[in-house]
Structure 1
Amino acid sequence: MALLSRKLYLLGALLVLVSAAGVVQADNDEGDDEATVEVVEEDEKYHSPQINPEKVYLAEHFDDEAAFKKKWVKSEAKKQGVDENIAKYDGKWEIQTPSRKIFKDDFGLVLTTEAKHAAISTLLDKPFEFKDKPFVVQYEVTMQEGQNCGGAYIKLLSRGTNTKADLRKFYDQTPYTIMFGPDKCGNDNKLHFIFRHKNPKNGTIEEKHSKKPTQRLDDIYKDKEPHLYTLIVRPDNTFSILVDNKEVNAGSLLEDFTPPVNPPEEIDDPNDKKPEDWDEREKVVDPSATKPEDWDETAPAQIVDPNAVKPDGWLDDEPETIPDPEAVKPSDWDEEMDGEWEAPLVDNPACAAAPGCGGWLPPTIPNPNYKGIWRAPLIANPNYKGKWTPRRIPNPDYYKDEQPFRMTPIHAVGFELWSMSPALLFDNLIITDDVAVAEEWAQITFMQKRAKISRDSDSVFDRAIKFAGDNPWVYAVVIVVCFVIVGLITYVCCGSKSESESDPKKTDAVGEDDPHASDGEDELQDEPERARKADLEGPEHEPVEVETVSSTDDSAPLVDTEGAGDGQRKRKPRKE
């Protein structure tokens, strides 16, 4: 029975796996509304992604090192306001395969150094003008050794950075239009979207920072996996930020940035001062109140309980603790150095059964006559004027920009970073004005990469569990199906009885309703011993004489029970 239970358990577990895997496969076959990812066979050679150049402003896969060296420019500038030893942008950039190799010929741009300023940039194939089409920038980041402190963001450089000579001077103060991407130091992690807004009234530039993402993004800094970052800024002044094709932040350029794009119409008058006689006190001490004559400020807060009585059996002469009688002075005790030795104190055993030891003192209780120091009560202030605030005046710097999307044109793109973790890898950078183009680029780059990672790392069971975690209803379906199937198998294996068990007439066993149960009782009791002797003697020995049971019918023939052969006892059939 135990073996059967184990078999049923293993069968049930197998059914769980098969059912979950079937649900996962069925879900994958449905397709829904999501784009289908073409799975690349493991033995298929990787090909660098290609896309129509007319649809993009830049598409960089970093697979061609020779082309990369011609196009990208490392900064030769120095960072201002820092120590001379670390001011130079001397961080190293190299084209390398990922440390976790995914495809044979897939490369990325790797920042190989740590604790150094590093900057590299390239010109766009054509400038991006913020007119009637959305701006889309998308790229991959793999923090191959995690990230403790440092950024992995990208800067979209403003008009004015138009030549390679300008790129060699790229540093932290180089004007940019948009900064976008992850940044972390300690427990503070961010996903930046900053745009520099030009004041239409006086031409000054001010950075506008987006609100924080709606989801926690801690894992992207420590899982060492590739992640895809996408920013979409639309002509209707809305924006979306996606991580791995899932939206994590969205909003309006007009409403979801700090400081806001448009200043308030009114401001506090900086020249307005609070009058000296302005009374903001809501309540004041009652000037007419006087202390009552019977108010005793000297009465103590606690007094001795006059009703307290010393408990019977209190041991006044016994101390609460005594020197430990079993303590022995250590052999290395030096009285000149350590002083006179004294045994440590222990609880007095004589006090264990008594209500208390030592001098008894009655407890204290709150003094019913205690009133404390007298203070005059508070009353409403008759001169109260409320909380003072300066008067409001029209904001002399007010403007209303209804199209903050019309940003400074972008002419170049670059990474200007400081990182305490080496081996930051960047890949598959694209800038376009068509969201569909960015999605297509992601399908032939990032999604293929993630699919390969999934195939290499996930078993069928892992995928089933992951799918069930995203779809809790799967657990209920699998459990119900398994219970039904296991129940049917249990019924088939254990539910039916053998023919001999189901029909008592087809056996020699004595039933309760057998009227002749006592006729051969003595004979049946001796039968096992005789059968054992017959087995020992065997056909090669002399036949064993067997005493038969007498019957009133001597003429009845002997019957061979259970098909017994030589050496087996024969008996007459019972009378009916």
Structure 2
Amino acid sequence: MAVNGKLLLLSIATIALPCAIGKVHLEERFDESWTERWQPSTWKAEENLAGKFEHTAGDWYGHPEADKGIKTTPDARFYTIWTELEEEFVNKGKDLVLQFSVKHAQNIDCGGGYIKLLPTSSKDKMPDFGGDTPYSVMFGPDICGSTKKVHAILTDKKGRNLEFKPTVPAKTDELTHVYTYILHPNNTYQILIDNEVDRNGTLYEAHDFLLPRQIQDPDAKKPEDWVDEAQIPDPADVKPDDWEQPETILDPEASQPEDWDVEEDGEWEAPRIPNPAYKGEWQPKMIDNPAYKGEWEHPLIDNPEFEDDEEVYLLPPLKFVGFELWQVKSGTIFDNILVTDDVEYAARFAEETWGASKDKEKEMLDAVRAEEEKKRKEEDAAAKAAAKDADDGDDDNDDEADDDAAEGNIDFGDEDEDDEGLHAEL
């Protein structure tokens, strides 16, 4: 169920749930000191497949300093970098908000743009943080070919990474977008894009946390005399005597061509055409089956393996945040990462960062694209002019040759010498 608007966001936060405590566990705006907090992973480094992050606002932005983030570079690399929360985050009885901005400035065709929240138990694995490092939440856009979706994967208490079953399309343009994931302690969730609710619902519907409460009785079988055919052929229906007709007949309007030679062409036969009287294969009409008992339904029993869990939202203590990505085409800029239990603050933070810059950023991108289009048209015009000049030059040379030929000024090389030799012989 997709719901639009901030009203639902605020109403769930302030009415359906207890008041937020208001603890910010991470607020990363990527200022000049960002390298003091973020650690690159050694994963893929020995294989020379580890990419690097560049501190930049890109070629278009709302503010040249405030909009600086970390940009993936170069192409075809794995990108892994991580940092610690200010203190361990235990989300029992609390909202969990994970929010960050993504700008696919490279017009991405294949690459991840998601972020991960990792548990305290992954501490020893963080220096080599990579694809196999256990995480608790993986959230954000993923674009590759026809795949253009937002991940919201949760790891359950058994260590299973549970995919997000609803479909949330990812933004595919070259502007900055804010992605927000909210996990509520009443086992519901919200996904916001650009501070507007895109999807919400229960965790039980969105993920396969629980086995089904009931299953089909493995000992039950359909009775052998069960009739589940709703209709049967009418036994009283009889095929009409004139039903059987050939599918094709000789064309009665065809005649032997006048130039037909029996000795050379053989005996002439009229071509065959579809028979208008042909009715196809006869089938008796269908009637309701008087013995029909309906569709047999497999009886259900309680699932002996079912285990209820009234706190599927509850994650292990969280301590780390990181990006673990593969990008064929680099150039994505990440910024303004927020981990908090305050839903309202997250909304204000998004407006303060992304909201304050989005209009100017779009204006600058439009100007960049307009300048590129202008330059392209100028280059096309110059190329066409050069080609025309080359064609005109060829035409001028051809005209000069024609003039020389008309005036008898064409040099035929050794023709005079040949003429002298011929005269000497004579």
Measured against the shorter chain, the TM-score band is: 0.5 to 0.7
**Distance of 2:132 and 2:101 partners within structure 1:** 25
**Distance of 2:322 and 2:258 partners within structure 1:** 89
1:174-220 CA-partner distances (Å, limit 9, x unpaired)? 2222111111111221012222232xxxx46451415223xx54xx3
Task: Verify the 8 A CA contact 1:192 1:210 in the aligned structure 2.
Answer: no
Task: Give the corresponding residue for 1:351.
Answer: none
Which amino acid in 2 is paired with 1:300? P
Rate the CA distance shift 1:317–1:249 in 2: closer, same or farther, 3 A: same
Task: Verify the 8 A CA contact 2:230 2:288 in the aligned structure 1.
Answer: yes
**Distance of 2:36 and 2:254 partners within structure 1:** 101
Rate the CA distance shift 1:447–1:379 in 2: closer, same or farther, 3 A: closer
Task: Verify the 8 A CA contact 2:175 2:361 in the aligned structure 1.
Answer: no
Task: Give the corresponding residue for 1:240.
Answer: 190
Rate the CA distance shift 1:234–1:70 in 2: closer, same or farther, 3 A: same
Deviation at 1:414, TM superposition (A): 0.6
Counterparts of 1:378-397 in structure 2, within 5 Å, are 378=286, 380-381=288-289, 384-397=292-305
What stretches of structure 2 of length at least 5 have no aligned partner?
1-6, 8-21, 261-267, 368-426
Task: Give the corresponding residue for 1:189.
Answer: 148
Task: Verify the 8 A CA contact 1:197 1:206 in the aligned structure 2.
Answer: yes
Task: Give the corresponding residue for 2:24.
Answer: 56
Task: Give the corresponding residue for 1:402.
Answer: 310
Rate the CA distance shift 1:300–1:95 in 2: closer, same or farther, 3 A: same
1:95 aligns with 2:3: no
1:74 aligns with 2:20: no
Task: Verify the 8 A CA contact 1:291 1:376 in the aligned structure 2.
Answer: yes
Task: Verify the 8 A CA contact 1:230 1:245 in the aligned structure 2.
Answer: yes
Task: Give the corresponding residue for 2:100.
Answer: 139
TM-score normalised by the chain length of structure 1:
0.51
Deviation at 1:115, TM superposition (A): 2.0
Counterparts of 1:4-153 in structure 2, within 5 Å, are 55-65=23-33, 68-77=34-43, 90-100=50-60, 102-106=62-66, 107-153=68-114
Counterparts of 1:410-489 in structure 2, within 5 Å, are 410-453=318-361, 456=364
Task: Verify the 8 A CA contact 2:61 2:357 in the aligned structure 1.
Answer: no
Deviation at 1:385, TM superposition (A): 4.6
Report the structure number with the largest CA radius of gyration.
1
Which amino acid in 1 is paired with 2:167? K
**Distance of 2:162 and 2:282 partners within structure 1:** 59
**Distance of 1:174 and 1:131 partners within structure 2:** 23
Rate the CA distance shift 1:288–1:242 in 2: closer, same or farther, 3 A: closer
Task: Verify the 8 A CA contact 2:43 2:128 in the aligned structure 1.
Answer: yes
1:268 aligns with 2:229: no
Deviation at 1:453, TM superposition (A): 2.6
**Distance of 1:282 and 1:425 partners within structure 2:** 61
Larger RCO of the pair (alpha carbons < 8 Å, separation 6+): 2
Task: Give the corresponding residue for 2:18.
Answer: none
Deviation at 1:303, TM superposition (A): 4.9
Task: Verify the 8 A CA contact 2:61 2:360 in the aligned structure 1.
Answer: no
What stretches of structure 1 of length at least 5 have no aligned partner?
1-32, 34-53, 80-84, 311-315, 320-358, 460-576
**Distance of 1:394 and 1:197 partners within structure 2:** 23
**Distance of 2:106 and 2:159 partners within structure 1:** 40
Rate the CA distance shift 1:232–1:278 in 2: closer, same or farther, 3 A: same
**Distance of 2:150 and 2:87 partners within structure 1:** 27
* 168, 180, 202: which one aligns with 1:252: 202
* 134, 139, 154: which one aligns with 1:175: 134
1:30-83 CA-partner distances (Å, limit 9, x unpaired)? xxx9xxxxxxxxxxxxxxxxxxxx841011122124xx333222222469xxxx
* Identity across the alignment (%): 35
Deviation at 1:382, TM superposition (A): 5.7
Task: Verify the 8 A CA contact 2:104 2:175 in the aligned structure 1.
Answer: yes
Rate the CA distance shift 1:210–1:296 in 2: closer, same or farther, 3 A: closer
Deviation at 1:444, TM superposition (A): 3.5
Counterparts of 1:332-347 in structure 2, within 5 Å, are none
Task: Give the corresponding residue for 2:125.
Answer: 166
**Distance of 1:178 and 1:283 partners within structure 2:** 53
**Distance of 2:327 and 2:221 partners within structure 1:** 49
Q: Secondary structure at the match of 1:264?
A: coil
Rate the CA distance shift 1:301–1:210 in 2: closer, same or farther, 3 A: closer
Rate the CA distance shift 1:95–1:206 in 2: closer, same or farther, 3 A: closer
Task: Verify the 8 A CA contact 1:300 1:367 in the aligned structure 2.
Answer: no
TM-score normalised by the chain length of structure 2:
0.67
* 209, 213, 232: which one aligns with 2:164: 209
Q: Secondary structure at the match of 1:209?
A: coil
Q: Provide the aligned C-alpha RMSD in A.
A: 3.8
Q: Secondary structure at the match of 1:241?
A: strand
**Distance of 2:81 and 2:117 partners within structure 1:** 12
Task: Verify the 8 A CA contact 1:94 1:112 in the aligned structure 2.
Answer: yes
Task: Give the corresponding residue for 1:300.
Answer: 246
Task: Verify the 8 A CA contact 1:75 1:89 in the aligned structure 2.
Answer: no
Which amino acid in 2 is paired with 1:237? N
Which structure dedicates a bigger proportion of its chain to strand? 2
Task: Verify the 8 A CA contact 2:27 2:337 in the aligned structure 1.
Answer: yes
**Distance of 2:347 and 2:282 partners within structure 1:** 78
In the alignment of these two chains, the number of paired residues is: 339
Q: Secondary structure at the match of 1:171?
A: coil
Task: Verify the 8 A CA contact 1:114 1:418 in the aligned structure 2.
Answer: no
**Distance of 2:57 and 2:87 partners within structure 1:** 29
**Distance of 1:272 and 1:89 partners within structure 2:** 56
Deviation at 1:131, TM superposition (A): 2.6
1:69-120 CA-partner distances (Å, limit 9, x unpaired)? 33222222469xxxxx96x762223333423365443432122132222211
